[in-house]
Amino acid sequence: MKRTLIEKVKGKAGEQVKIVGFVHIIRDQGSIKFLIISDISGSIQVVITKDAVEALKISKFLNLESVVEIIGLAKIESQAPEGIEIAAEKISVLSVAAPEMPIPIIEKSEEKVSLQKRLDWRFLDLRKPKNQLIFKVWTLFEQSFREYLIQNGYIEIHSPKFMSAPSESGGELFEVKYFDRKAYLAQSPQFYKQMAMASGFEKVFETGPIFRANPSFTSRHDTEFTGYDMEISYIDSHQDVMKEEEKVTQYIIKKIKEKYGEEILKLFGRDLVVPTMPFPQLTMKQTKEILEKMNVPNERDGDLSPEEERKICDYIKKKEDHEFVFITEYPVNVRPFYHMRLEKNLKLTKSFDLLWNGLEITTGAQREHRYDILVAQAKEKSVPLESIQFYLDFFKYGCPPHGGLGVGPSRWLMKIFDVSNVREVTYLYRGVKRLKP
Amino acid sequence: MKRTLIEKVKGKAGEQVKIVGFVHIIRDQGSIKFLIISDISGSIQVVITKDAVEALKISKFLNLESVVEIIGLAKIESQAPEGIEIAAEKISVLSVAAPEMPIPIIEKSEEKVSLQKRLDWRFLDLRKPKNQLIFKVWTLFEQSFREYLIQNGYIEIHSPKFMSAPSESGGELFEVKYFDRKAYLAQSPQFYKQMAMASGFEKVFETGPIFRANPSFTSRHDTEFTGYDMEISYIDSHQDVMKEEEKVTQYIIKKIKEKYGEEILKLFGRDLVVPTMPFPQLTMKQTKEILEKMNVPNERDGDLSPEEERKICDYIKKKEDHEFVFITEYPVNVRPFYHMRLEKNLKLTKSFDLLWNGLEITTGAQREHRYDILVAQAKEKSVPLESIQFYLDFFKYGCPPHGGLGVGPSRWLMKIFDVSNVREVTYLYRGVKRLKP
CA B121, CA B284: separation in Å to the nearest integer?
43
Could you tell me which chain A residue has the CA closest to the CA of B196?
A: A123
User: Closest-CA residue in chain B for A122?
Assistant: B199
- Say yes or no: B178 and B283 in one domain: yes
Report the DSSP beta bridge partners of residue A324: A356
The pLDDT tens digits along chain B (437 residues) read: 999 999 999 999 999 999 999 999 999 988 899 999 999 999 999 999 999 999 999 998 899 999 999 999 999 998 888 899 999 999 999 999 999 999 999 877 656 899 999 999 999 999 999 999 999 999 999 999 999 999 999 999 999 999 987 766 667 899 999 999 999 999 999 999 999 999 999 999 999 999 999 888 787 788 999 999 999 999 999 999 999 999 999 999 999 999 999 999 999 999 999 999 999 999 999 999 999 999 999 988 999 999 999 999 999 999 999 999 999 999 999 999 999 999 999 999 999 999 999 999 999 999 999 999 999 999 999 999 988 999 999 999 999 999 999 999 999 999 999 999 999 999 999 999 899 89
Domain termination site, one of B95, B113, B137: B95
Helix axes B129-151, A129-151, angle to 10 degrees: 150
Q: Are residues A172 and A32 in the same domain?
A: no
Size of the A and B interface in Cβ pairs below 8 Å: 241
- Which CATH number fits the domain that encloses residue A283? 3.30.930.10
CA distances from B121 to A22, A217, A329, B40, B173 (A): 54, 41, 34, 19, 29
Chain B residues with CB under 8 Å of A127 CB are 199-200
Same domain assignment for residues B72 and B134: no
Contact residues, chain A, for B229 at CB < 8 Å: none
CA atoms within 13 A on the CB side of B114: 3
Q: Residue B164: its chain A contacts at CB < 8 A?
A: 435-436
CB contact (8 A) between residue A65 and residue B398: yes
Q: For residue A111, is it within any domain?
A: no
Cα dihedral: B113, B114, B120, B121 (round 10): 20
B95, B122, B125, B393: which to substitute to probe chain A, counting the most A Cβ within 10 Å?
B95
Q: Tell me, yes or no, whether B148 and B90 share the same domain.
A: no
Chain A residue at shortest CA distance from B210: A161
- Maximum distance among all Cα pairs of chain A, rounded to whole angstroms: 85
Contact A225, A210 (CB under 8 A): yes
Is A109 within the bounds of a domain? no
Contact A366, A242 (CB under 8 A): no
Verify that B53 and B157 share a domain, yes or no: no
Determine the average pLDDT of the residues in A329-334: 97
Same domain, B86 and B134: no
A220-239 b/e (C-beta count within 10 Å ≥ 16 → b): bebbbbbbbbbbbbbbeebb
CA distance A379 to A347: 16
pLDDT of residue A168: 62
A244 and A347, same domain (yes or no): yes
The answer to whether residue A174 neighbours chain B at the CB level (below 8 Å) is yes
Give domain status of residue B192, yes or no. yes
pLDDT at B166: 72
State the residue range of the domain holding A140.
129-425
Beta bridge partner(s), residue A90: A71
Interface contact B156, partner A, CB < 8 A: yes
Subunit contact A20:B401, Cβ cutoff 8 A = no
- Cβ–Cβ gap B160/A224 under 8 Å: yes
Q: Are residues A367 and A231 part of one domain?
A: yes
Which residue in the set B135, B157, B393 is minimally distant from A155, CB to CB? B135
- Count of the separate structural domains present in chain B: 2
**CATH number for the domain that contains residue A14:** 2.40.50.140
**CB burial of residue B196 (10 Å; 0-12, 13-18, 19+):** buried
Instruction: State the nearest Cα–Cα gap between A432 and chain B, in angstroms.
Output: 7
* B414 in a structural domain: yes
Q: Assess A73–B contact: CB distance below 8 Å, yes or no.
A: no
Using the predicted structure, report yes or no on whether residue A111 has a pLDDT greater than 90: no
Tell me how long chain A is: 437
Average pLDDT value for residue range A181-202:
96
Q: Is B2 on the interface with A (CB under 8 A)?
A: no
In this complex, the residue of A127, A199, A390 whose CB is nearest that of residue B200 is A127
What would the DSSP string read from start to end of A336-348? -TTBPEETTEEEE
- In this structure, the answer to whether residues A147 and A289 fall within a common structural domain is yes
- How many other C-beta atoms can be found within 10 angstroms of the C-beta atom of residue B268? 16
The reply to whether B135 and B247 lie within a common domain is yes
Distance CA A70, CA A1 (A): 11
- Contact A61/B at CB under 8 A: no
Q: What is the full DSSP assignment across A229-283?
A: EEEEES-SSHHHHHHHHHHHHHHHHHHHHHHHHHHHHHHH-----PPPSSPPEEE
The reported pLDDT for the residue numbered B109 is: 60
Alpha carbons A9 and A83: distance in angstroms, whole number: 11
**Is any Cβ of chain B less than 8 angstroms from the Cβ of A123?**
yes
Q: Pick the residue from chain B with its C-alpha nearest to A203.
A: B40
Chain A nearest-CA distance from B158, in A, is 7
Q: Are B117 and B400 in contact (CB under 8 A)?
A: no
Alpha carbon distance B384, B395 (integer Å): 17
Suggest the residue from B37, B126, B156, B158 to mutate for an interface test with chain A (most A CBs closer than 10 A): B158
Q: Are residues B137 and B72 in the same domain?
A: no
Q: Is residue A110 part of a domain?
A: no
What lies within 8 Å, CB to CB, of B16 at 6+ separation is B1, B71, B72, B73, B74, B89
What pLDDT, on a 0 to 100 scale, did the predictor assign at position B169? 61
A95–B399 C-beta distance less than 8 A: yes
- pLDDT tens for A238-258 read 999 999 999 999 999 999 999
Same domain, A211 and A325: yes
Domain for residue B431, yes or no?
no
Is the Cβ pair A67, B226 closer than 8 Å?
A: no
A370 near B CB under 8 A: yes
In a domain, B148, yes or no: yes
Answer yes or no: are the C-beta atoms of A210 and A226 closer than 8 Å. Answer: yes
Mean pLDDT of A297-321: 96
Q: Sign of the C-alpha dihedral, residues B55, B60, B62, B64?
A: positive
Chain CA centroid to CA B430, Å: 14
Q: Is A398's pLDDT higher than 80?
A: yes
Assess contact for A209 and A336: CB atoms under 8 A.
no
Residue type, A165: A
| pLDDT > 90 in chain A, percent | 89
The distance from CA B373 to its chain's CA centroid, rounded to whole angstroms, is 36
**Domain boundary residue, one of B71, B95, B119:** B95
Nearest by CB to A156, from B40, B139, B400: name it.
B139
CA-based torsion, B297, B300, B306, B309: positive or negative: positive
In a domain, residue A419? The reply is yes
Q: What is the pTM for the complete model shown?
A: 0.95
* ipTM confidence: 0.96
- Cβ pair B173, B185 in contact under 8 A: yes
